[in-house]
Amino acid sequence: MTDPIVRITAARKSFALPDGGRLPAVDGVSLDIAPATAVALTGPSGAGKSTLLHLVGALERLDGGTIEVAGQEIGRLSGRGLAAYRRTVGFVFQRFHLLPALTALDNVMAPVLPFRTDFDKAARARELLTLVGLADRTDALPSRLSGGQQQRVAVARALINQPRLLLADEPTGNLDSRTGASIVELLLRLRDERGTTVVIATHDPAVADGCDVTHRLRDGRLAPSTTTFHDHGEFGSL
Ligand X SMILES: Nc1ncnc2c1ncn2[C@@H]1O[C@H](COP(=O)(O)OP(=O)(O)OP(=O)(O)O)[C@@H](O)[C@H]1O
Residues that bind Mg ion in the complex, under the rule CB under 5 A: 49-50
Shortest distance (Å) from residue 21 CB to ligand X: 12
Residues 6+ apart with CB under 8 A from 101: 141
Q: Which is nearer to ligand X, 21 or 81 (CB)?
A: 21
Site residues for ligand X, 169-208, by CB under 6 A, read 201
Interface residues for ligand X in 2-21 (CB under 6 A)? Answer: 15
Q: Who contacts 230 (Cβ-Cβ below 8 Å, separation ≥6)?
A: 208, 209, 210, 211, 212, 213, 214, 237
Q: Distance from first CA to last CA of the chain, Å, rounded?
A: 24
What's the angle, vertex CA 42, arms to CA 37 and CA 46, rounded to 5? 135
Nearer to ligand X, 156 or 187 (CB): 187
Binding test (CB under 6 A) with ligand X, winner from 28, 46, 65, 147: 46
Binder of ligand X out of 48, 57, 90, 148 (CB under 6 A):
48
Is 71 strand, coil or helix? coil
Pairing mode, if any, of strands 22-33 and 6-16?
Answer: antiparallel
Binding window for ligand X (CB under 6 A); candidates: 39-47, 116-124, 155-163, 176-184? 39-47
Which residues of the shown chain bind ligand X in the complex (CB under 6 A)? 15, 23, 25, 43, 45-51, 201
